[in-house]
Amino acid sequence: MKKTHLAAAIIAVIAFGAVTIPKTMAQQQTKENRMVKIEGATPENPVVYLGKSFDKKNGKFVDGYAIVHYAKNINKPVKPAKPSADAACYGFLAKGAKWKNVEPWIVDSANTDGLAADFILENMTKDIDKWEDAVSPNTDILGTGNKVMTSFLPGTYNNKNEVSFARIDDSGTIAVTYIWGIFGGLTSRRYLAEWDQIYNDYYDWSDSGDENKMDFENIATHELGHSVGMGDLYTSGCAAQTMYGYATEGQIIKQTLEAGDIAGINLLY
C-alpha cells in the first residue's frame, strides 16, 4: 500500500516539529456570507495541518488536519482491479488512530444548500451505518446525530462534531473534513478526538444522483470514511474504492463500500 497524504503530513509534523508548520486554516463569517478558506491546500497537497488544540476530555494536546476533497472527472471506465489488489486499496489517517469513545454529532439545519435537513440527518446516519456495519462484529463508532437550529461554522476544535454547508473559496473543493486526534507516538495511544465537515455550497447538491449535481450520499460516505479514520487513495488502480480522493457531479459509485474500504475498516477496528 502507498502512504496516504495525511500519513505523510503527520510524518512531516513529527519529524520537524509542529512549531515549524504555521496554522493554515482561516475562516470568515458575516450575516451575508459564510466563507471558508483553506490556506495551503492544493490538489497535490490536499491535507493541511491546523496546529494543536487541548482535549479537555482526555487532558492531552491533539493535532488537527483539514482533508480537502477535490473535484475531478473520474467517470471514465476504470479497468477492474484484481481481487487481491482491490482488497489492498486502503489507507489510514495514521495506523491505530481511531475512535475509542462514541460521541454524538450535529447537523446545522439552517445551512443545507437546498437539501432537506431531515434528509441530511437521515442520510448521514445511513452512511455511518455502512462503515459501522462493515466491521465484524458490528461496531458503534460515530454515535447518533441531531439537527440543531442554530447556525454554526465547523472547522474549529470545540468538543462538537459538526456538519454544515458553506462557501469554500476554492470552487474545485467539494468538501472538507476536519479531524483532530493523536496520530504519532505509540500506536496504542493514538486516538481520534473530534471531526467536522463542510460541504461546498458552490455546487448544486442532489439527494437522488442528479447527473448535473453533486450527490450528497456519494460525497458524505467518502467524508465519513475520514471521520472514522480512513485516508484518501490516489492510485488509479484504487479508483473504484469509496476512499478514492476525487469525485465529480453525477457520480454515485462512492455510495457503497468496496473491498478495500471494508478490508481497511476491519483492520482499524
Instruction: Give the pLDDT band of residue 34 (cuts 50, 70, 90).
Output: confident
Question: In whole angstroms, what is the distance from residue 153 CA to residue 49 CA?
Answer: 19
Residues 6+ apart with CB under 8 A from 140: 102, 132
Closest CA to 262 of 88, 49, 77, 24: 88
Average per-residue pLDDT in the chain? Answer: 87
Instruction: Give the pLDDT band of residue 87 (cuts 50, 70, 90).
Output: confident
Instruction: Give the pLDDT band of residue 5 (cuts 50, 70, 90).
Output: low
> What pLDDT score was predicted for residue 14?
32
CB atoms within 10 A of CB 4: 23
Total structural domains within the chain: 1
Question: In whole angstroms, what is the distance from residue 177 CA to residue 145 CA?
Answer: 17
Looking up residue 120, the CATH number of its domain turns out to be 3.40.390.10
* pLDDT per residue as tens digits for the range 15-29: 323 322 233 444 444
Torsion sign over Cα 5, 8, 10, 13: negative
Residue 264 has pLDDT above 90, yes or no: yes
* pLDDT per residue as tens digits for the range 36-86: 999 999 999 999 999 999 999 999 999 999 999 999 865 443 444 445 578
> What pLDDT score was predicted for residue 130?
98
- Predicted TM-score (pTM) of the model is 0.88
Phi/psi zone of residue 47: left (φ > 0), alpha (ψ -120 to 50 degrees), beta? beta
> What pLDDT score was predicted for residue 200?
97
Mean pLDDT of 4-16: 45
Closest CA to 120 of 160, 164, 181, 80: 164
Question: In whole angstroms, what is the distance from residue 119 CA to residue 132 CA?
Answer: 20
Full residue range of the structural domain in which residue 13 is found: 5-268
Q: How many CA atoms lie within 13 A of 156 on its CB side?
A: 7
> What pLDDT score was predicted for residue 6?
61
